[in-house]
């Protein structure tokens, strides 16, 4: 029987690349999306067309009830989860700290932090040996912005990702003896649509050459690392952060 992976925010960008790479590794993949059904269906079609197994499941992971439903549907359609990739995340919009609003903060922390706690909770109910599970891996998708502060006027985004770095360290101590490995991945400047909030391709063209490796990264480069971390080849990697940032 195939192992099962849930990838949140998997209709495009890094999430879609992770879903496709995981299917090649033999995972049955739950491709989560909020509103981009056509994009999610396309990812599923690519996976099934190549002989893999995947289903698209709509859920707004910033909402607790939707997360509960996401995991229930995954149980029913694919089986109990073995790997969770908490990839969903947003910027909302650029905003200086002295203009920050409660609405912006509520949206970004709900999407980038609360969602991770909701999904992690449901995964642990199924993975942890303490709860009768067989173990598994949870990858929290942080950002290099958690280290260097990110782009101008995005302190809210950097702070939300910094919360995940702290969570990785704490959660690893909680569940490490229960068969669950917890790792954080910090992508750097990656060519995805999230940058549309602050300049899109123009920003990537300008900032790419400033990265020590000389360019922006590709979603597939992040996916290779993420999926490898869920495999037995990475069995002693736990409670740490892995940078995929081209040296930035």
| Predicted confidence (pLDDT) per residue in 7-53, tens digit | 999 999 999 999 999 999 999 999 999 999 999 999 999 999 999 99
Q: How many domains is the chain partitioned into structurally? A: 1
Indicate which CATH number applies to the domain containing 91: 3.40.50.720
Residue range of the domain that includes 11:
4-244
Tens-digit pLDDT profile for residues 168-209? 999 999 999 999 999 999 999 998 765 555 556 776 776 668
- For residue 45, count other CB atoms closer than 10 A to its CB: 12
Placement of tokens 């960008």 in the chain: 13
Active-site choice (27, 33, 157, 236): 157
> Do residues 81 and 3 make contact, with C-beta atoms less than 8 angstroms apart?
no
Listed residue (77, 74, 58) closest to 66, CA to CA = 58
Q: How far is CA 219 from CA 77, 104, 154, 188, in A?
A: 27, 26, 21, 10
Q: How far is CA 207 from CA 68, 110, 122, 177, 199, in A?
A: 39, 28, 38, 42, 11
Placement of tokens 């909701």 in the chain: 118
pLDDT band at residue 73, thresholds of 50, 70 and 90? very high
Tens-digit pLDDT profile for residues 208-225? 688 888 998 899 999 999
* 157 flagged as catalytic: yes
Query: How much is the pLDDT for 198?
Result: 56
Listed residue (195, 218, 192, 200) closest to 11, CA to CA = 192
Buried b (16+ CB within 10 A) or exposed e, 164-178: bbebbeebbeebeee
CA atoms within 13 A on the CB side of 97: 8
For residue 61, pLDDT over 90 is answered with yes
């Amino acid at each position: 029987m195939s192992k099962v992976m849930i990838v949140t925010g998997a209709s495009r960008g890094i999430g879609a690349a992770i879903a496709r790479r995981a299917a090649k590794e033999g995972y049955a993949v739950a491709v989560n999306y909020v509103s981009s059904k056509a994009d999610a269906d396309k990812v599923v079609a690519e996976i099934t067309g190549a002989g893999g197994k995947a289903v698209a499941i709509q859920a707004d992971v910033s909402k607790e009830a939707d997360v509960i439903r996401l995991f229930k549907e995954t149980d029913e359609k694919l089986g109990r989860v073995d790997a969770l990739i908490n990839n969903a995340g947003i910027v909302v919009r650029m905003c200086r700290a002295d203009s920050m609003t409660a609405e912006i903060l509520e949206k970004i922390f709900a999407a980038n932090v609360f969602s991770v706690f909701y999904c992690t909770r449901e995964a642990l109910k199924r993975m942890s040996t303490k709860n009768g599970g067989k173990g598994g891996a949870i990858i929290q998708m942080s950002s290099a912005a958690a280290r260097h502060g990110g782009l101008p006027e995005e302190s809210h985004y950097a702070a939300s990702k910094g919360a995940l770095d702290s969570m990785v360290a704490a959660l690893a101590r909680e569940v490490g003896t229960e068969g669950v490995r917890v790792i954080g991945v910090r992508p750097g400047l990656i060519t995805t649509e999230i940058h549309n909030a602050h300049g899109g391709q123009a920003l990537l063209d300008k900032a790419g050459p400033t990265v020590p490796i000389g360019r922006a990264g590709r979603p597939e480069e992040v996916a290779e690392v993420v999926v490898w971390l869920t495999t037995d080849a990475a069995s002693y990697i736990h409670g740490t952060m892995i940078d995929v940032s081209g040296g930035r």
